Structure 1
Amino acid sequence: MSILLQISDTHFGTEQVMVTEALVTLAHQQRPDLVVLSGDITQRARPAQFRAARAFVDRLGAPVLAVPGNHDIPLLDLWTRLRSPYERYSAAFGKDLEPVHCSHDLLVAGVNTTRPMRHKDGEISALQVDRVARLFERSEPAQLRVVVVHQPVAVARAEDVTNRLYGHEAALQSWAEAGVDLVMGGHIHLPYVIPLQGLARPIWAVQAGTAISSRVREGVPNSVNLLRWGADAAPGACQIEQWDYMAENRIFLLAKVSDIRLART
């Protein structure tokens, strides 16, 4: 069995201390095999914010696969944004902006969907789509096949349509044919799990809320996702748990469980 913990939109610089400590406690209790950090790690891409984020993930006790979000590129420092937009991110999380994690039962590929010339919108190129497809075409039957982006490939509310990733249609068609199971994202601070229609095989969009930031949406608490694959899930299924922060208890509690059936080839 493998456990994957998805943390998104931490926005260090706006983090809440009690929520942060509760998340560290949850990670120590659940002992994930991999932590996925799906972008907007910092609020303003400042060195001190990246250092705080790195210190936080080092406390989680698991390998971390991270991708940048639009907030992880300097916004107000235009010279750095244009000359070396990922320098501060790379100092904390490494120069590989599209890391891959491969184990017996997990294949997880990060995709950098940020663009320095865009303010917040995300984009995926044909080269990125092809690279990911080739990777998953070589996956093993036992592996859960996951792509990690920042901006969502699908939305649950009409007001979020403008936040969808540019190029998501072509990407999903290609990735479905290559055998991808899940596409994980963040950006809009709203957790949900929805099936994607009209593809060669089923793919699910798995979105995470903001993990520890004060920048929550109205009526939506801080939350993270736990994915279970293997012995603790039904055969051919992936269990996705949404854990919400309960302020009155100062802990993350299980709020929702989704058992999704995967098409295995």
Structure 2
Amino acid sequence: MSVLLHVSDTHFGTERAPVVEALVAFAHALRPDLVVLSGDITQRARRAQFRAARLFVDRLGSPFVAIPGNHDIALFDLASRWLRPYAAHMESFGTELEPVHDSADCLLQCVNTTRPRRHKNGEVSALQIERVAARLAAARRGQLRIVVVHQPVAVSRDEDLPNLLRGHAQALRRWAEAGCDLVLGGHIHLPYVVPLLQLARPLWVVQAGTAVSHRVRDGIPNSVNVLRWGREVAPGSCLIERWDHGDEGRFVRRGVTEAQPARG
């Protein structure tokens, strides 16, 4: 069975130390095949915050991929924002802003949806859409096909509509045609799963809350997602589990959704 730990919006610089320790302990017990960080790794894109974030990721003890979020571009340092917006991110997490994970049963493609000209809203270009679609279409039979963005491509309530990724409708349509199963994201600090069944094939949107920051929203605790598929899971299914940091001082499973992508 394959296991993926989806962590988002850690916002280092606003992290809660007990939650950081609880998540490290959880990851050690889980031993995921891959950790995915879907952006807003830091609060203000400062190098010290990136170093703290990288130390945290190294402590998880698993392979990982990471993309920047809007908070990972300097807000007040305009020279950095315009001339070298990703310099601090790349120093800690590598020069590849759209990493790919390709294993026997998973093809995962990250997409950089941040733009220095935008304060917080994200955007996916036509070129990015087509590049991702081409890679999805080339996936091997039996691979779970996952795309990772920062801003959400679908929301669960109307008040979050302004946060939708610019270009999301075109991206979802094209990626579904190319065989996408799941789109992971963060940004709005709300964990939820939305099935999109009106596309060329079923596609599931999986959003994560804030993993370790005190910047929780609407009383929802710090949370992460765990995805499981393969052996011990029904053929063609993916279990999407939400794990919240509870009063017990550890991460506890609060719910599970069974996604049934039409994988070929």
Global fold match (TM > 0.5): yes
Moved over 4 A (4+): none
| Residue aligning to 2:263 | 264
CA displacement, residues 207-226 of structure 1 (integer Å, 9 cap, x when unaligned): 00000000000220100000
User: Unaligned 5+ residue runs, structure 1?
Assistant: none
Aligned to 1:215: 215
**TM-score, normalised with respect to structure 1:** 0.99
Asked if the contact 2:7–2:35 (Cα under 8 Å) also holds between the matched residues in 1, the reply is: yes
| Correspondences of 1:92-103 after superposition (within 5 Å) | 92-103=92-103
Q: Which residue of 1 aligns with 2:176?
A: 176
Contact 2:242 2:255 in 1 (8 A): yes
Partner of 2:133: 133
In structure 2, what is the Cα distance between the partners aligned to 1:106 and 1:52? 29
User: Which shows bigger deviation, 227-236 or 89-98?
Assistant: 227-236
Deviation at 1:232, TM superposition (A): 2.8
1:27 maps to 27
Supply the distance in 2 between the matched residues of 1:194 and 1:80 (Cα, whole angstroms): 36
1:169 CA drift (Å)? 0.6
Corresponding residue number in structure 1 for 2:63: 63
Aligned-partner residue type, residue 253 of structure 2: L
Normalised TM-score (structure 2) = 0.99
Residue aligning to 1:250: 249
2:201 corresponds to 1:192: no
The separation in 2 between residues aligned to 1:249 and 1:194, in whole angstroms, is 29
2:66 alignment partner AA: A
1:197 to partner: Cα distance: 3.7
In structure 2, the partner of 1:75 is 75
Does 2:118 align with 1:118?
A: yes
Aligned counterparts of 2:211 and 2:263: Cα–Cα separation in 1: 31
Aligned partners of 1:66, 1:206: CA distance in 2, in Å? 16
Identity, % of aligned positions = 63
Distance in 1 (CA, whole Å) between partners of 2:250 and 2:198 is 39
Return the alpha-carbon distance in structure 1 between the equivalents of residues 225 and 233 of structure 2.
15
Write the distance in 1 (CA, Å) between the matches of 2:78 and 2:197. Answer: 40
Measured in 2, the distance between the counterparts of 1:49 and 1:219 equals: 25
SS of 1:59's equivalent in the other structure is helix
**Cα deviation digits, residues 203-245 of structure 1 (max 9, x gap):** 0100000000000002201000000010132111000100000
Aligned to 1:50: 50
Q: Which residue of structure 1 aligns with residue 166 of structure 2?
A: 166
CA positional deviation for 1:198: 2.4
Amino acid at match of 1:154: A
Structure 1, 66-75 or 139-148: larger mean CA deviation: 139-148
The residue identity in structure 2 corresponding to 1:185 is G
Structure 1 residues 83-137: Cα deviation after superposition (integer angstroms, max 9, x where no partner): 1000000000011100000000111000000000000000000000011000011
Query: CA RMSD, aligned part only?
Result: 0.6
Separation in 2, partners of 1:232, 1:47: 42
How far does residue 264 in structure 1 lie from its aligned partner after superposition?
A: 1.8
1:204 match:
204
Give the C-alpha shift of residue 141 in structure 1: 1.8
Provide the secondary structure at the position in 1 that maps to 2:243: strand
**Matched letter for residue 208 of structure 2:** A
Partner amino acid, structure 2, of 1:117: R
**8 Å CA contact 2:144, 2:263 repeated in 1:** no
Listed as ranges, the gaps of 5+ residues in structure 2 are: none
Secondary structure, aligned partner of 1:227: strand
The residue aligned with 1:240 is: 240
Distance 1:141 1:15 in 2: 40
